[in-house]
Chain A
């Protein structure tokens, strides 16, 4: 397969939320291109639209207008957005997600949590088990533990492993260190950087943490729903 020049292309994305009679412009004509293997961070004050943008780019939400292509496929062309089922199919193939809260299933072990996506979908080429991935993240001794027995940093690493098990093209990380102390935050930062540099994984990171943002190759600042730099 030929290497794509962009894994993600957004043109004039706008998102308007309606709250009763009020209209809120969360994103205002945002355009952006993400290349394969890029590590991009999004920063900006609260309410700047960075999470809204990343959600739209990540197939978690539809824009109000604009165009979005993911992996060369038109996801949104300014008219009707995709149905939930269609979005799910795309998400499966392309994206992995990690969030501020780890959202691990408390009754499953670390290994089972990482394998959970396989209960619903196994992408061809995905590994047979989780052990290799867990080992690469330094969790080989914790496979049988439950989330309650892990530290915050370990839990986020498990979440990362889970996000990667189906070999996504793009990893979306929305405030992944929001619940961690500075030491653990740094750890996660290094993990992400390593994944990007060694595996060539495309990463889109939203963060308030300046140090973490600096680990990315490129930082995009948003303000009032627009890219300011």
Chain B
């Protein structure tokens, strides 16, 4: 292409477009549903609406609450991104005026990137469904397979109290022991997912269920 009378102007377009396309600005990180209207309906087909709540550990109870949650998790909050002031988005799902369930997602460090683990729960805190909204893995296909998520259905926080997130050991009658890793080569992502589920359930218990499952 010949240089036009305003080559710099044409070049400016190139820079602009390349900036827009190739290096998108990432939004501030929370763990919201990508498309709440669509996703709530998918997870709760019987629903007619939902309400969104924004909570944080720092906002509710500060350092003391953080210690309590860490104790329940059996692990401390780590690193740059797992802090007391992380905002959590919780969805209350309605059918008409009746509350019928909850949806909540958490961020968790995976092997190659952040995992976003979402749970749909009934009013007692039992898992209705599990899925990865975000997962970077060479074997992502195996972990995203619905058969993996189905293993979590019916489980609740009581089951996860029997699971040690640091050693991956289970004790007692915990049904977590029955969950199989479909991708042994991605053991760290599998364990990250289990930690994410336990943390998810603890936060829901704390913010939505009134500590129904507090030990």
Question: Do A and B share a direct contact in the complex (Cβ within 8 angstroms)?
Answer: no
Interface residues of A (CB under 8 A from B): none
Interface residues of B (CB under 8 A from A): none
